[in-house]
């Protein structure tokens, strides 16, 4: 692939999320990830896409981070060498595997749980009725 990679370093996670959101909304780029840099709470935002889109995205992210007083540095690599490309893509695939969505329970299990809840509700209602009957008998005596 002959795409560009864009990097921005900012201070703090909240700023990184805000800048990443801006970068993805401005141009058609893929967010490769946000990772913690070494020291001082710096975060690195990585995006991938066409050269023009990445440049526009990085410029927008840079201006947003300057507004927030969190800008450290930025870089656009137009057509990274194969070794760099492998580094970025391998890390992004590992991150994707870690953040796979949690699969909800199967519908059958949900139905079984609903039936159990209904059974418990009916048991509670029956016990309340029995208490009312026994309380009424006791008060008559």
pLDDT (tens digit per residue) in 6-49: 999 999 999 999 999 999 999 999 998 899 988 788 999 999 99
- Give the model's pLDDT for residue 137: 54
Q: What is residue 41's three-state secondary structure?
A: coil
Q: Cα–Cα distance between 10 and 45 in angstroms, integer?
A: 8
User: pTM of the predicted model, to two decimals?
Assistant: 0.60
Residue 131 burial class via C-beta count within 10 angstroms: exposed 0-12, middle 13-18, buried 19 and up: exposed
CA dist list (Å): 126 to 89, 121, 123, 135: 61, 9, 5, 14
Q: Cα–Cα distance between 58 and 8 in angstroms, integer?
A: 7
């Amino acid at each position: 692939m002959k795409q560009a990679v864009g990097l921005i370093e900012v201070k703090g996670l909240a700023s990184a999320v805000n800048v990443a959101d801006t970068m993805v909304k401005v141009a058609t780029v893929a967010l490769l990830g946000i990772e913690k840099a070494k020291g001082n709470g710096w975060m690195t935002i990585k995006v991938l896409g066409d050269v023009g889109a990445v440049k526009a995205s990085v410029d927008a992210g840079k201006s947003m981070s300057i507004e927030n007083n969190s800008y450290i540095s930025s870089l656009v690599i137009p057509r990274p060498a194969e070794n760099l490309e492998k580094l970025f893509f391998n890390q992004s695939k590992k991150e994707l595997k870690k953040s796979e969505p949690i699969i909800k329970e199967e519908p059958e299990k949900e139905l079984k749980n609903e039936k159990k809840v209904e059974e418990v509700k009916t048991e509670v209602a029956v016990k309340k009725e029995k208490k009312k009957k026994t309380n009424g008998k006791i008060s008559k005596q």
